[in-house]
Amino acid sequence: MITKNKITQTHASSNLAVSVLILGIIFAAANLRAPLTSVGPIVDSIKTELNISNGSAGMLTTIPLLAFAAVSPLAPKIARRFGTEYTLFGAMIVLAAGIALRYVPSIETLFLGTGLLGIAIAICNVLLPGLVKREFPNKVGLMTGTYSLSMNLWAAIASGVSIPISQGFGQGWRSSLVCWILLSLVSLVLWLPQLRSANKPTSSQKKGGSVWQSGLAWKVALFMGLQSTVFYTVITWFPSMLHEQGLSHSTAGWLLSLAQFVSLPASFLIPIWAGRLANQRGLVGFIVLCLLLTYAGLLSGSPTFAPFCAVLVGIALGAAFSLATMFFVLRTQNAHQAAELSGMAQSIGYLLAAVGPALFGLIHDFTHSWTIPIIILCVAAILLFIVGMEAGSRKFVTISENRKKEI
């Protein structure tokens, strides 16, 4: 006979397990941007000490993006073999190793560590949406918003504290890069309980064709790709655009920080709203409207509109990323499909993102103006609207024999 005390203990144990899982997801997400955004503010110090060119320094941003593009499609296959929990745990170990390597006083280890970071973050990026869909099927929006907020909050924090840390611990820029190993170690500890209850892949997960055959999957992937291109282009060149309008470098930098912090509530709230709506087309329209108003303000050339541009683009970028992440969950029917779609979309997305900032810089160098690059961003926003209308419709990505259901 089961006593009331035993039932209460079982319920308490279950609640504790769920709480630990949520904390594990939040801390795992915190690692997905901070080791990368900590580089930008100290890149000049890295260049000076290591005596490397601007092009080589730029690779510190490009290498992780290329790793994202290359590794993302492989992550679901690794998870099918070893299980999602063990694969995420392994990725966190690789992440910690990459952070540690960047502390070693060598150009080679700096770039090797950066490559390992990219591989580890790519795997986590891909697998977390599927894990959320599997473990929290009735709270997908809330959980997606929570880990998106964690990711973006720590990204903003890392940008802000990078220089103070480099100046305050006597180790220069290396201390700014290695300090994030503490966050990764906390994540590893929090993830250990998940290994005891790890779900092994089932035979049903191994069946079926490729998500790359799905037309709807390509719409979701293009939405991810376009918003990633816009994000990294704006993050890279927004201060320069504002400076050419007459703002100081300091003011332009603060407005970029404002945009990043404004993106936080948007990245949290949009997934919750998206999960409650029959379709997400209205959210796509809202995002594109914010982008187009931002570009209109930049094209006006008036510094008066700069704060409004910063707020609007922050809302748009935070909302676009979290909505793209929600599409991996909302457009699929199980955790395996979510991981497959996430891998495909992020591969395409980050490949475009790796090219976007450099291409826009070249266009600016050729034309000596930001007008044509901003017009191209307007075209990208329109394309984002077109593919977003399809990605935001109430359909499911299906593959092989079930593909007719997309129509």
| Domain range list for the chain | 1-203, 208-400
Amino acid found at 345: A
Q: Which two tokens stand for residue 166?
A: 């480099």
The confidence band for 406, taking pLDDT boundaries of 50, 70 and 90, is very low
Residue 161 has pLDDT above 90, yes or no: no
Whole-number pLDDT of residue 65 = 87
Quick one: what percent of the chain has pLDDT higher than 90? 53
Q: Of the ranges 51-60, 97-106, 237-246, which one carries the lowest mean pLDDT score?
A: 51-60
Whole-number pLDDT of residue 206 = 47
Q: Of the ranges 80-94, 164-178, 377-391, which one carries the lowest mean pLDDT score?
A: 164-178
CB-count burial class (<10 Å; 0-12, 13-18, 19+) for 189: exposed
Residue 327 has pLDDT above 70, yes or no: yes
**105 — alpha (psi -120 to 50), left (phi > 0) or beta?**
beta
Whole-number pLDDT of residue 13 = 60
Whole-number pLDDT of residue 6 = 47
The confidence band for 115, taking pLDDT boundaries of 50, 70 and 90, is very high
pTM here is 0.83
Q: Which two tokens stand for residue 59?
A: 């690779």
Q: How far apart are the first and last CA of the chain?
A: 53
Cβ atoms within 10 Å, residue 100: 16
The confidence band for 203, taking pLDDT boundaries of 50, 70 and 90, is very low
Query: Average pLDDT for residues 366-375, to the nearest whole number?
Result: 90
Whole-number pLDDT of residue 254 = 82
Q: How far apart are CA 254 and CA 293, in angstroms?
A: 20
As a CATH number, domain 208-400 is 1.20.1250.20
Contact 235, 256 (CB under 8 A): yes
Query: Average pLDDT for residues 202-229, to the nearest whole number?
Result: 79
Whole-number pLDDT of residue 240 = 82
Whole-number pLDDT of residue 5 = 52
- For the chain, the average pLDDT equals 87
Contact 159, 39 (CB under 8 A): no
Quick one: what percent of the chain has pLDDT higher than 70? 91
Whole-number pLDDT of residue 30 = 93
Query: Average pLDDT for residues 352-381, to the nearest whole number?
Result: 88
Q: Answer with the residue of higher pLDDT: 327 or 57.
A: 327
* Distance from chain centroid for Cα 271: 14
Residue 347 has pLDDT above 70, yes or no: yes
Listed ranges 198-207, 218-227, 329-338; the one with the highest mean pLDDT: 218-227
Query: Average pLDDT for residues 356-381, to the nearest whole number?
Result: 88
Residue 48 has pLDDT above 90, yes or no: no
**Longest distance between any two alpha carbons in the chain, whole Å:** 81
Query: Average pLDDT for residues 130-137, to the nearest whole number?
Result: 92
Query: Average pLDDT for residues 351-365, to the nearest whole number?
Result: 84
Residue 15 has pLDDT above 70, yes or no: yes
State whether residue 108 is helix, strand or coil. helix
Listed ranges 7-11, 175-179, 403-407; the one with the highest mean pLDDT: 175-179
Contact 223, 344 (CB under 8 A): no
What is the CATH architecture assignment of 1-203?
Up-down Bundle (1.20)
Q: How far apart are CA 308 and CA 306, in angstroms?
A: 5
Whole-number pLDDT of residue 349 = 86
Whole-number pLDDT of residue 160 = 78
CB-count burial class (<10 Å; 0-12, 13-18, 19+) for 384: buried
Contact 345, 324 (CB under 8 A): yes
Whole-number pLDDT of residue 183 = 93
Residue 404 has pLDDT above 50, yes or no: no
Whole-number pLDDT of residue 371 = 92
Q: Of the ranges 5-14, 16-25, 168-177, 310-319, which one carries the lowest mean pLDDT score?
A: 5-14
Residue 61 has pLDDT above 90, yes or no: no
Contact 211, 344 (CB under 8 A): yes
Please report the sign of the dihedral spanned by the C-alpha atoms of residue 97, residue 103, residue 105, residue 109.
positive
Q: Which two tokens stand for residue 276?
A: 């409650």
